[in-house]
Amino acid sequence: MLAFALLLVAQETTLHHVHLNTANQKSAEEYFAKRFEPGPLRFNEVKQLPPAALTSAIWHIGWGSPDPRGEYQYQVALGTKYATMPTNLPEVGPDFFFSYVETPEKALVEINNAPDNKFRHVHLFSDDPIAAAEWYIKYLGLRTSGGRPLSRKLVRLLNTDIGPTANLTVPSVEGVPVSLGIFPVSWARTEYKEDWKGVSKPVPSAGRVVDHLAFAVVDLDGTLARMKADGVKVLDLPKRQGDSGIYVEGPDQILIELVKK
């Protein structure tokens, strides 16, 4: 019965939305609508600019582009601010490029090679990427990308050891597969040294510019029961705009919303 329940979860879980905090909802919605294809985003208006230092376990959200270098020219013409120019990742391929856009409220958006311009990924940090991935697999039924087994093998990118990493796949509400990539916090401490001064572990994502991830599951009661039995914290927090689900604490203090599908 347990195997059947996990199979059901795996078949039915979707990324429902990524919730961003913003001091001006209308402006934030217009910013993303002007620059990116629609994605599973929601906005929660708050009274002041939300903190954006990259010290929570939610690193960034990402869109694809068939031509990231051409996309750069398009985005610059719109007045988009880039934190990282299009950069080749030779470990992935000679024609693979990534770049980072910084929104007016300093949310980080990656644009990298993909067959289209759709919303494609969410990247996370973790003290233990493999254990974090196992949490999403166990409770939400997410699958590893390509069915590959999780591995603690070191991964090297841009001449830096960043492993182990984990890559999971979950369909979004738009039906597009979204990659959930999980990278070690040790790399974040190296890449974002100023942000991490005096910070020893990922801070809660709740209240930050990228506030939480929401997943839609068919068996909400069963999912919550399994979580509670294992000591996963259910959080009593004020509802963000548009939310109707239940908040729990995910790996590395990421706020997770569970929505009944």
pLDDT at site 10 = 47
pLDDT at site 8 = 45
Give the bridge partners for 101, in sequence order. Answer: 82, 109
Which of 159-163, 192-196, 208-212 is predicted least confidently?
A: 159-163
pLDDT at site 5 = 46
Contacts for 26 with CB less than 8 Å, ≥ 6 apart: none
Determine the 3-state secondary structure of 149 from DSSP: coil
Average pLDDT on 64-85 reads 97
Report the candidate in 202, 178, 177, 207 with the shortest Cα–Cα distance to residue 20: 207
Q: Which helix (H) or strand (E) holds 72?
A: helix 68-77
The CA distance from 15 to 249, in Å, is 16
pLDDT at site 158 = 67
Segment 158-188, tens digit of pLDDT:
666 677 999 999 998 777 899 999 999 988 9
Please give the structure tokens belonging to residue 236. Answer: 């009593």
How many contiguous H segments (helices) and E segments (strands) does the chain have?
7, 16
pLDDT at site 6 = 46
Model confidence, pTM: 0.93
pLDDT tier, 11 (very low <50, low <70, confident <90, very high otherwise): low
Q: CB 32: neighbour CB atoms within 10 A?
A: 20
DSSP 45: E
pLDDT tops 60 at residue 214: yes
The CA distance from 207 to 235, in Å, is 13
pLDDT tops 60 at residue 208: yes
pLDDT tier, 2 (very low <50, low <70, confident <90, very high otherwise): very low
Report the candidate in 104, 92, 94, 101 with the shortest Cα–Cα distance to residue 74: 101
Please report, for the chain, the start and end positions of each structural domain, with discontinuous segments joined by +.
2-260
Which of 58-62, 141-145, 162-166, 201-205 is predicted least confidently?
A: 162-166
The CA distance from 123 to 180, in Å, is 6
Task: Write the Ramachandran bin of 107: left for phi over 0, alpha for psi from -120 to 50, otherwise beta.
Answer: beta
DSSP 240: P
pLDDT tier, 32 (very low <50, low <70, confident <90, very high otherwise): very high
**Contact by Cβ (8 Å): 204, 210:** no
The CA distance from 162 to 155, in Å, is 5
The reply to whether omega before 164 is within 30° of 0 (cis) is yes
Q: How many percent of the chain have pLDDT more than 70? A: 94
CA geometry: angle 31, 84, 121, nearest 5 deg: 65
Determine the 3-state secondary structure of 90 from DSSP: coil
Fold for 2-260, please state it. Answer: 2,3-Dihydroxybiphenyl 1,2-Dioxygenase; domain 1 (3.10.180)
The CA distance from 189 to 179, in Å, is 23
**Contact by Cβ (8 Å): 109, 101:** yes
Segment 130-157, tens digit of pLDDT:
999 999 999 999 999 999 999 888 777 6
Segment 233-256, tens digit of pLDDT:
999 999 999 999 999 999 999 999
